[in-house]
């Protein structure tokens, strides 16, 4: 029987791709999701258990039923702008929910934990190349909530022997090349799907958030990583844990490619790949945005053998476009 892995947020964008990768690697992913932003149709690679991380008894029940060997924790609220307007939601759901999950995990006798963190924990770092040792100084409640969870994992490592692999993602993009699952947020706030919507006239023009940043073309720079590469790192991280290569505590890995793309460059590449005009206009800055977030990810390459082969902008836009044209889960 395939060893089970509890995947919180398995009905979401990254979680659903992780389930596909876990299944391909010989695990059985058990999705735990409250469907507040996820999609039932995205759960295709293993059992589904509807539940909320704020409901500790439900987590205990699901862990007892499935007896997973490890937990992969993706479930979270993840919109930077919303987190600035409604920080309480972020502290309650992300931090409170994670605390329940960690305590339930330990109570079930599970010690291996993979956590989905973010480069938003770094804040604005003046454009330096970021790595695992860069000091974290989040500038929005979303990033602050993720950093707090990282701290909790460290503390539970010292107190209870929890072993965590923490991945700090840069900007995740693209989709399953077979389009079984893909990126589908309601509301959508991410750049590439919004560009594709604008191309198709689905929600009017794209707004570029700020053109007066201290970059070559005045727009923000991000490091985009293909979601299939990203979830592959999670499988490698899980195997790393299972091979006893992580001591109690946390092992942090940045997942980026080292290549930064400005908003204007992403628009130009999207135009090039889709062969369609991208209607856009220039607008003011968005609160909570850092100028530049880029990471080389040498540690993940060296320790996990991670190779982000699909993370070219062309491939990410191409895969996102294919999925986009299929209509997402609303089709
Ligand atoms: N952008 C626009 N117009 C838009 C949307 C985005 O110009 O309509 C710009 C943003 O200002 C930013 C870049 O495109 O410069 C990328 O923005 P995204 O919203 O796609 O992603 P973020 O860089 O804000 O990513 C952050 C964190 C991630 C996190 C994500 C969740 O860095 O870790 O928010 O929303 F997962």
Q: What is the pLDDT of residues 221-276, one digit of tens each?
A: 999 999 999 999 999 999 999 999 999 999 999 999 999 999 999 999 999 999 99
pLDDT per residue over 78-90, tens digit each?
A: 998 899 899 999 9
What pLDDT is recorded for position 331? 46
Asked whether the predicted pLDDT for residue 117 surpasses 60, the reply is yes
pLDDT per residue over 20-43, tens digit each?
A: 999 999 999 999 999 999 999 999
Percent of the chain with pLDDT over 70: 99
DSSP string covering 54-110, please?
T-HHHHHHHHHHH--SEEEE------HHHHHH-HHHHIIIIIIHHHHHHHHHHHTT-
User: Ligand 1: which residues within 6 Å by Cβ?
Assistant: 78-80, 118-120, 169, 171, 189-191, 194, 206-209, 220, 222, 263, 286, 289
Q: What is the mean pLDDT of residues 52-65?
A: 98
172 CA distance to ligand 1 middle (Å): 10
Ligand 1 atom 34: residue of nearest CA = 80
Ligand 1 atom 5: residue of nearest CA = 191
Ligand 1 atom 16: residue of nearest CA = 191
Q: What is the mean pLDDT of residues 196-213?
A: 95
Catalytic residues: 142
State the pTM of this model: 0.96
For residue 22, give Cα distances in angstroms to 5, 7, 45, 168, 230. 8, 10, 9, 19, 12
pLDDT per residue over 147-177, tens digit each?
A: 999 999 999 999 999 999 999 999 999 999 9
SS3 18: helix
Torsion 240-311-144-69 (CA) sign: negative
> Token digits for 128?
């330096």
Q: Nearest Cα to 294, choosing from 221, 229, 226, 211? A: 221
26 CA distance to ligand 1 middle (Å): 33
Q: Quote the ipTM score.
A: 0.94
All domains in the chain, ordered by first residue? 4-173+224-255 (3.40.50.720), 191-222+258-330 (3.90.25.10)
pLDDT per residue over 278-290, tens digit each?
A: 999 999 998 878 8
**Which range (10-24, 179-193, 256-270) has the least confidence?**
179-193
Other CB atoms closer than 10 Å to residue 113's CB: what's the count? Answer: 26
């Amino acid at each position: 029987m395939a060893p089970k892995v509890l995947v919180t947020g398995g009905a979401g964008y990254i979680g659903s791709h992780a389930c596909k990768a876990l299944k391909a690697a010989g695990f059985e992913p058990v999705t735990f999701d409250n469907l507040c932003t996820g999609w039932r149709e995205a759960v295709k690679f293993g059992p589904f258990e509807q539940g909320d991380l704020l409901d500790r008894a439900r987590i205990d029940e699901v862990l007892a039923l499935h007896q997973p060997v490890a937990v992969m924790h993706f479930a979270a609220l993840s919109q930077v702008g919303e987190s600035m307007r409604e920080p309480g939601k972020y502290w309650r759901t992300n931090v409170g929910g994670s605390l329940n999950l960690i305590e339930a995990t330990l109570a079930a006798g599970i010690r291996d934990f993979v956590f989905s963190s973010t480069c938003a924990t770094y804040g604005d770092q003046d454009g330096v190349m970021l790595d695992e040792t860069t000091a974290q100084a989040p500038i929005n409640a979303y990033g602050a909530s993720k950093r707090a969870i990282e701290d909790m994992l460290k503390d539970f490592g010292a107190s209870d022997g929890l072993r965590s692999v923490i991945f700090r993602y840069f900007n995740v993009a693209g989709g399953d090349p077979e389009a079984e699952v893909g990126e589908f947020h309601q509301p959508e706030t991410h750049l590439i799907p919004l560009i594709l919507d604008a191309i198709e006239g689905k929600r009017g023009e794209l707004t570029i958030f700020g053109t007066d940043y201290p970059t070559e073309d005045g727009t923000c720079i991000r490091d985009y990583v293909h979601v299939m590469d990203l979830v592959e790192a999670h499988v490698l991280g899980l195997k790393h844990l299972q091979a006893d290569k992580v001591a109690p505590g946390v092992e942090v890995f940045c997942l980026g490619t080292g290549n930064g793309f400005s908003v204007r460059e992403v628009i130009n590449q999207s135009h090039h790949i889709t062969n369609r005009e991208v209607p856009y206009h220039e607008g003011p800055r968005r609160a909570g945005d850092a100028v530049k977030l880029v990471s080389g990810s040498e540690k993940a390459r060296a320790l996990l053998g991670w190779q982000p082969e699909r993370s070219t902008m062309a491939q990410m836009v191409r895969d996102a476009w294919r999925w986009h044209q299929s209509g997402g889960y609303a089709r």
